[in-house]
Structure 1
Amino acid sequence: MVERARIGVLGDNTALGDAIGLALRQITPRSGLKPVLILYSDNGTSNAGQVSPAQAVAIARHLGVKIFSVQVGGDPAKGRPYKVSSYEGEQPDMRLIASDTGGRFFYAASTGAERAAIRTIGTIVPRLRPPGGRHRLATALYSGPLVVAALLWLLGGIWQADRSR
């Protein structure tokens, strides 16, 4: 079902299900890691796309993916399902998408509110840390070629000055 989601231009329409589906296609399961999605939209309803928001949320739940939704305009989502002719059955709005997957809904009426939402998500979601003891030592190798280039430049300058005499 998620394979049906394609990147494309929908004009003025909103395809939340396709957006979630495309993001879910990028997730590679790894042991011990719990992926999350951050979904941005300017309103809480979807009216286009191959995959309905309800289908995408069901897949995200099945995969154990939490969706944090950030609404950046319009009236805040009310947390009630809605119906549109594009899809069968009731569809979750941005607030329900988050709660149905174990994530959280944020309404960002300003840039400051959007930044606060991202900071809050950063405190909720554990960050990945590189495995301990596996540090790669870096050795700077540019000094040798740099010295050779400087010598060639210097010799070229001397040769040029010698030719002009």
Structure 2
Amino acid sequence: MLEFAWPWTFLLLPLPWLLRLLLPPADSGEAALKVSFLDELESLAGRRARPRLPGWRRQAPFALLWLLLVLAAARPQWLGEPLPLPSSGRDLLLAVDVSGSMDYRDMQWQGETISRLSLVQHLLGEFIAGRNGDRIGLILFGSQAYLQAPLTFDRHSVRRWLDEAVIGIAGKNTAIGDAIGLAVKRLRQRPADSRVLILVTDGANTGGEVAPLTAARLAAGEGVTLYTIGIGADAEQAGAVGLYGLNPGLDLDEPLLREIAAATGGEYFRARSQDELRRVARVLDRLEPVTQAPTTVYQATPLYPWPLAAAVLLSLLLVLHELWPQWPPQLSRRRR
């Protein structure tokens, strides 16, 4: 199916004729000599007299050239068969804590001790890749919350942005309430039965302007289901004792995370190790998809190069037509 991306461009078609009517004729300011026997002079000079054409025939090539240029500017394109996008799935936002405590190296990944954020990047990256049909977004929060990736079907880009997250990029504190509030703001424009927020943190709310429970009640009112994940090893686990003998896992406010999830009809998960976090991802991956409005896209093949190339070719032919009467005398003189 033929379609023009910018059909309003055709309004420019009468522009040359309007300019000719509205603007005064060009005046060089020099005296002009009109010779009635110009054809005879050209024949005596060895030049072939060009036959005089009616006015509309002289203007036809230039009118065609202008039409081709306007046609190319209108961006014609051929729309192929409709390609359906996934019509079921959820609008799912991931809110990941990137505060200073997420840098604790108390997690194991393939026999290597890594930080909490690194483990989240590994396993949630796999989770993102498997959410076929969902719109995925990413929020990073510390002292403040930032939307790193809006809701999109491009799961590859969201995973890359998660992998590029660094500790402290949003501040050293933990603003859980602000992260929930930002997610609600982004999800409220989507269908009410498909709004999901997964919040991953290893601490308590130590910053921000919105109280977490207040934000959770707001999320419940907007139909957002909130799943919270508390990450961090226990004190008795190897490598769990941080600097000065303090256990970083003590900072985790599990009662608050449970209450936040319960207020929205979601669940709280505890992830003390790689295996537990992987199990959490599998549970979340079993979320039932919901039917949304079907979405279709068309593969568009641009066609503007064809009229543009025809305009260039016609311009060259017009130039050759203007120069052609001068060529035979020059060629004959060169042969002599």
Question: What TM-score does the superposition give when structure 2 sets the normalisation length?
Answer: 0.32
Aligned counterparts of 1:32 and 1:51: Cα–Cα separation in 2 = 23
Q: How far did 1:48 drift?
A: 1.1
Aligned counterparts of 1:32 and 1:95: Cα–Cα separation in 2 = 22
Mapping 1:54-65, distance limit 5 Å: 54-65=213-224
Matched, 1:15 2:175: yes
Give the greater-gyration-radius structure (CA).
Answer: 2
Q: Indicate how the Cα distance of structure 1 residues 138 and 26 shifts in structure 2: closer, same or farther if over 3 A, else same.
A: same
Picking from 245, 258, 262, the partner of 1:95 is 258
Unpaired runs of 5+ in structure 1?
Answer: 80-92, 142-165
Aligned counterparts of 1:19 and 1:137: Cα–Cα separation in 2 = 36
Aligned counterparts of 2:184 and 2:290: Cα–Cα separation in 1 = 19
Higher relative contact order (CA 8 A, sep 6+): 2
Instruction: Tell me the C-alpha RMSD between the 2 structures.
Output: 3.2
Check conservation: 2:175, 2:207, Cα contact below 8 A.
yes
Matched, 1:122 2:282: no
Q: Indicate how the Cα distance of structure 1 residues 31 and 7 shifts in structure 2: closer, same or farther if over 3 A, else same.
A: closer
Aligned counterparts of 2:288 and 2:145: Cα–Cα separation in 1 = 27
Mapping 1:68-147, distance limit 5 Å: 68-73=227-232, 74=249, 77-79=253-255, 93-126=256-289, 131=294, 136=297, 138=299
Which residue number in structure 2 is paired with residue 48 of structure 1? 207
Unpaired runs of 5+ in structure 2?
Answer: 1-142, 147-169, 233-248, 303-336
What do the CA deviations read for 1:43-75 (whole angstroms, capped 9, x no partner)? Answer: 3x2121111101101101111111000111125
Question: What TM-score does the superposition give when structure 1 sets the normalisation length?
Answer: 0.60
Check conservation: 2:228, 2:257, Cα contact below 8 A.
yes
**Secondary structure of 1:103's match?**
coil
What do the CA deviations read for 1:10-57 (whole angstroms, capped 9, x no partner)? Answer: 31x2111011111111114344633010000013x2121111101101
Compare the two structures and name the one with the higher helix fraction: 2
Which residue number in structure 1 is paired with residue 28 of structure 2? none
Letter in 2 for 1:40: V
Q: Which runs of 4+ in 1 moved over 6 A?
A: none
> Mean alpha-carbon deviation: is it higher for 52-61 or for 69-78?
69-78
- Percent sequence identity over aligned pairs: 32
**Secondary structure of 1:33's match?**
helix
Compare the two structures and name the one with the higher strand fraction: 2
Which residue number in structure 1 is paired with residue 187 of structure 2? 27
